[in-house]
Chains A and B, each alone.
Chain A
Amino acid sequence: MGTYIQRDLPKTSLSWVLDPNNRASLSASTDTAATLTSSRGAQTGLIATFSFVTPASDPSLTNWDGNFSAGLDATEAGSSISYGGRWGWASSDLSSGNGIAHQQSEALFTGTGLRTATATGVSWGLRSATDRFVFTVSSSNSNMMSAEDITLRVNTTDSYVDVPWSVGEPPPTDTPRPAYIGGGYYG
């Protein structure tokens, strides 16, 4: 079990989110709180609004099956906006993928505050070890008169994505050689 943080940087070239500012990343670490904002047109259906993706070859696993959850922190939202979390994947070079493959089991959220999205027993089939993991927030706007905005706070522990694998373990390195103390031959 590991945890990613939804981060505003670095931006990515994910294609399924319209606004490049909201094509962002997943990281093992937090940073200074920041916000991402999207405007949804009047009476629009559910579409990918924010997507967060891991670096290339993260998680470097072929079996992603298990339970997923995510924390959402909507600081501002139009009263007619509804939104929810989805989990997906992207190819290593971001040229293909599906960022909305699995959706949260909860009803869509509306209003502001801290929310928890979950998906249990998710089966992905066999993934490529070079694939990237994706968390997407989709939203819709039921107001037929006006566009409405939604703003997410990211970079903090309130904006997390829990996954069924370890996250952020440093790559294997050579064990440091102990400093030599004393005289004699050192080979």
Chain B
Amino acid sequence: MKVLVQWASDTPGDYEEIDLNAGNRRNAWRNLPKRPAPKGGERLDEKGYVFDLVIDGIMFYGFDHVAVEPLGGNSIKVYGWTDDLEDEQTNYRWGEVWTIHPHRKDSRVGNQTNTHQVKTVYSEDLEDMAQYFPQETTGGPVQLRPWSEFPMPPEQLVRHGIWVRDENLWKRHFEVRRPVSWRDW
């Protein structure tokens, strides 16, 4: 399954496409450039901070950290989480884990080809997060679990996000990339 990565950059570019399940490319994600968790003052003149990550049309945007793990059968697991409580907008640790499977025929939509996605949300404040539930993906109901159960991925798979505080630069990241659809997968 392909993964679209857009790097945070002072010269933003379109998504870079990698395929995690094609032949010997299972390590393509872990081999991507990586920079340490930002502490402030970082320059965006080299790759390593993720601006956005798109898989099956789902945008994993705005997380402190993301990770992608190839599974068997052309499926992948995607992690996105936020745990930087010093950030002025973050009140508690929370995260999402998606398992994205290949498309399949779906009897609920006239046997058309459809996505097959499964999502679990983890939160340190279950009561606050519960206001957004119930939810369901094409793979079934979304589970809401305590943050303590978040399945932290191996460090080699983790890539960090970064605030792009310059508003014009932030906008340019969206302007330069192509629109995508789940049908592209």
Contacts and interface: CB of A to CB of B under 8 A. Distances in A.
A77 B59 contact: yes
Contacts of B129: 142
Interface in B42-64: 54, 56-64
A107 B136 contact: yes
A130 interface: no
A113 B183 CA distance: 8
B112 A111 contact: no
Dominant SS among interface residues on chain A: strand
Interface string A145-161: 11111010100001000
Contacts of B60: 79
Contacts of A78: 58-59, 61-62
A64 B183 CA distance: 35
A110 B62 contact: no
Contacts of A110: 119, 135-137, 142
A168 interface: no
A147 B129 CA distance: 16
A111 B90 CA distance: 23
Interface residues of A, number: 35
Interface in B82-107: 82, 87, 89-91, 94, 96, 98, 106
B181 interface: yes
Interface stretch (A68-76, A89-97, A171-179): A68-76
User: Dominant SS at the B interface?
Assistant: mixed
Contacts of B106: 113-114
Contacts of A35: 179
Contact of A145 (B56, B82, B137): B82
12 contacts: A75-B182, A78-B62, A79-B119, A109-B136, A110-B119, A110-B142, A111-B58, A111-B117, A112-B181, A114-B115, A144-B89, A148-B61
Interface of B: 54, 56-64, 78, 80, 82, 87, 89-91, 94, 96, 98, 106, 108-109, 112, 114-115, 117, 119, 121, 129, 131-138, 141-142, 179-183
Interface of A: 35, 42, 45, 71, 74-80, 82, 106-116, 140, 142-149, 151, 153, 158
Given A110-B137, A113-B182, 18 more contacts: A35-B179, A75-B179, A76-B59, A77-B58, A78-B59, A79-B119, A80-B62, A112-B56, A112-B57, A112-B115, A113-B114, A114-B138, A116-B108, A140-B132, A144-B90, A145-B87, A146-B61, A148-B59
